Structure 1
Amino acid sequence: MRCYGLRAALPAVVLCAALLAVASVWLGLAGAAVVSALLIALGWIIYFHSERMVLTALRARPVSEVERPDLYRIVRELARAARLPGPRLFVSPAAQPNILTVGYSARSAAVCCTEGLLRILSPAELRAVLAHELAHISRRDVAVSSWSAGLASLVATCPLIAVLLHLAAPTGREYEADMSGALLTGDPLALASALRKIDTAASAQPLRPRGTLAAASHLMIAHPFPSDGLGGMLSTHPPTSERVRRLEALTGGPGPAAL
């Protein structure tokens, strides 16, 4: 997690240093001081509002236990097993199956499922992907991911900077969350099966890489954009085939779906 934090902070530090250098040359020390104050204020704005930006981009809404009792039951059981507070639950109307978690601590985390995800996964597969998201919370890498998503959303009009920020998200965090989630449920093949379904459907129904949605793609369990062009440049996810192989290796071989 510390390595991920350093990688995410590096592009932000470089960007801030460049802005301060330009300000000091053109505006002098007083201008550089003003720019420094603005950058600090901007950092706090990103910290407190990135969650809202991400959920708004997905048109997500909070759901109650009355609406989704099964979803709440699964999350409550997993959170208890992982010794975590229960996250807030949101549902996006997106047809593409995907899921993400945003927040800065275990107590403030919010898990957002798409309608497409809830529609195509079996209860065991849904349990597996929720365990994957709780693993991100437990490993505390969701805080860095949320902050970098907020920063990337502000510079989304400059694709090069947005791509550099996405490169700060190491693919290893997905492998680690896969392993931790599989250990939490005790059913790695359910997560492997879910990843296959999500990857196939996401490839058939890719989202458009624009604005805050492009900035938040690294928060999702699977890459939501086309594999070519800007969508491909924004990819921070390891190959699904390799993720599935590693999960199947936990059981000593491929699952029934892969035979």
Structure 2
Amino acid sequence: MRTVWLQMRMALVVAALFAIIYAFLSLIAYAAGLGTPIVFAILASVLVGFQFLIGPKIVEWSMRVRYVDEMEAPRLHRLIERLARDAGIPKPRVGIAEVPIPNAFAFGRSKRDARICVTRALLNMLDEGELEAVLGHEISHIRHRDVAVITALSVIPMICYFIFQSFFFSGLFGGRDRNNAGLLAVAAVAFIVYFVSNLLVLYASRIREYYADEGSARLTGKPHELASALYKMIYGSVRVKREDLREIEGIRAFFATDPARARRDIVDLMSADLNRDGKIDPYELRRFSAEAGSVSTLERFMELFSTHPNPVNRIKRLGNL
């Protein structure tokens, strides 16, 4: 039932995004001529396509990824191979990212081109059950084609931003007449649509994270292991230097957790670790899910601008799976 609800919400987001862009481009076509919005759409599609093609190389370079064979990382290969087989997808390439942040991420152009990487800090931090749960989360991202889905949806706010820039500068430097006032009005609408559509894309990204959490719980049968891993990853990210966070700013969306939010998130999550042993066991997960309060209004507002759900909500949801 939860999976069906997630799928329904995702379908509604996609429908809303494409309805918005269709209505907006129709408005632009009526105001400025039929060819103009098509040019923006083609330009945005070309840029996203180019980003899609070179994206894996950018991630590899930014995260200092080094691919490892079975001799060098037998545990990692064994877990990924089994999870991929259970998920019904080809085994992804396996890599280690040499960055001082405890996290994991999946990327690639398709299921056959997929790669799963973990950082050295994560390997040193998690036990086998927790590592399996995190890898199950990343395998689920690949299985659900999340990278391709979010990339495709991101075209929509990009189109709106191109339209905003074009009409804004045309209206600003084109002299003072009624036509220029109309161009500025279109630019203002374009920026509003860009802002709203970008929020919907971020919302879609958060849904995909919930979906991957559920996928991991189904693959491993141990949602508490993922909850414990998320807790450890957030706790470990608190100690990360700010300059290290700046280095990975552009690819935080790929991570299983958002390290930039760790200092805020850990305060709420420490109450789940009742015996302060640094883990979340099945009892602690059930207790936290039943007793933890809802997130504050400010936290719900801040979540609107995040690619990841609030971790309190994530862990409470894992306790109810």
TM range (shorter): 0.7 to 0.9
Higher RCO, 1 vs 2 (CA within 8 Å, ≥6 residues apart): 1
1:240 aligns with 2:311: yes
In structure 1, the partner of 2:219 is 184
Under a length normalisation based on structure 2, what TM-score does the superposition of the two structures give?
0.60
In structure 1, the partner of 2:249 is 213
CA contact 1:90–1:113 (8 Å) conserved in 2: yes
1:29-178 correspondence runs (5 A): 38-146=43-151, 164=199, 167-178=202-213
Call closer, same or farther: CA 1:177–1:36 in 2, change over 3 Å: closer
Worse-matched range after superposition: 69-78 or 166-175: 166-175
Separation in 2, partners of 1:172, 1:111: 20
- State the Cα distance separating 1:72 from its structure 2 match: 0.4
CA contact 1:49–1:150 (8 Å) conserved in 2: no
Separation in 1, partners of 2:203, 2:256: 17
In structure 2, the partner of 1:249 is 320
Two-structure CA RMSD over aligned residues (Å): 4.0
Under a length normalisation based on structure 1, what TM-score does the superposition of the two structures give?
0.73
Worse-matched range after superposition: 31-40 or 129-138: 31-40
- Which amino acid is 2:86 matched to? A
CA contact 2:134–2:216 (8 Å) conserved in 1: yes
Q: Which runs of 5+ in 2 are unaligned?
A: 1-6, 162-194, 265-297
Call closer, same or farther: CA 1:193–1:111 in 2, change over 3 Å: same
Q: Match of 2:53, SS?
A: helix
The alignment of Structure 1 onto Structure 2 pairs a total of residues equal to 244
- Which amino acid is 2:256 matched to? I
CA contact 2:303–2:309 (8 Å) conserved in 1: no
- The percentage of aligned residue pairs carrying the same residue is 34
Separation in 2, partners of 1:146, 1:87: 20
CA contact 1:89–1:111 (8 Å) conserved in 2: yes
Separation in 2, partners of 1:120, 1:193: 11
- Which amino acid is 2:223 matched to? P
CA contact 1:111–1:133 (8 Å) conserved in 2: yes
Separation in 2, partners of 1:181, 1:106: 17
Larger Rg: 2
Worse-matched range after superposition: 32-41 or 121-130: 32-41
Call closer, same or farther: CA 1:32–1:170 in 2, change over 3 Å: closer
